[in-house]
Amino acid sequence: MKKLENKIALVTGGSRGIGAAISKKLAREGATVLFTFSHATEKAQAVVAEIKEAGGNAVAIQADSSDSQQITDTVNAAIAKFGHIDILVSNAGIYIGKAFEDHTLEDYERIMSINVRAVYLAAHAVAKQMSAGGRIITIGSNLADNSLSSQTTLYTMSKSALQGFTRGLARDLGPKGITVNLVQPGPIDTDMNPSNTEHAEFLRGRMAIPKYGTGEDIAGLVSFLASEEGNFITGSALTIDGGFNA
Catalytically annotated residues: 155
Q: Is 193 in the site for ligand NDP (CB under 6 A)?
A: yes
Residues 103-122 that bind ligand NDP (CB under 6 A): 114
Interface residue with ligand NDP, options 8, 9, 10, 13 (CB under 6 A): 13
Q: Rounded to the nearest whole angstrom, what is the least distance from the CB of residue 58 to ligand NDP in the complex? A: 13
- Distance, in Å, from the CA atom of 108 to the CA atom of 154, rounded to the nearest integer, reads 7
Q: Is 48 in the site for ligand NDP (CB under 6 A)?
A: no
Query: Is 38 one of the binding residues for ligand NDP (CB under 6 A)?
Result: yes
Q: d(Cα 9, Cα 84) in Å, to the nearest integer?
A: 9
Choose between 188 and 207: whose C-beta lies nearer to ligand NDP: 188
Q: Is 239 in the site for ligand NDP (CB under 6 A)?
A: no
Instruction: Go through 130-168 and write b for each residue having 16 or more CB atoms within 10 A of its CB, e for each that does not.
Output: beeebbbbbbbbbbbbbbeeebbebbbbbbbbbbebbee
- Say how many C-beta atoms besides its own lie within 10 A of residue 69's C-beta: 10
In the complex, the smallest distance separating the C-beta of residue 223 from ligand NDP, rounded to whole angstroms, is 16
Smallest gap from residue 115 Cβ to ligand NDP (A): 7
Helix/strand/coil percentages in the chain, nearest 5: 45, 15, 35
Task: Say how far apart CA 133 and CA 86 lie, in whole Å.
Answer: 7
Can residue 181 be called a binding residue for ligand NDP (CB under 6 A)? Answer: no
Interface with ligand NDP (CB under 6 A), residue from 7, 32, 126, 187: 187
Apex 190 CA angle, 188 and 193, nearest 5: 70
Interacting residues with ligand NDP (CB under 6 A): 12-19, 36-40, 43, 64-66, 91-94, 114, 139, 141, 185, 187-188, 190-193
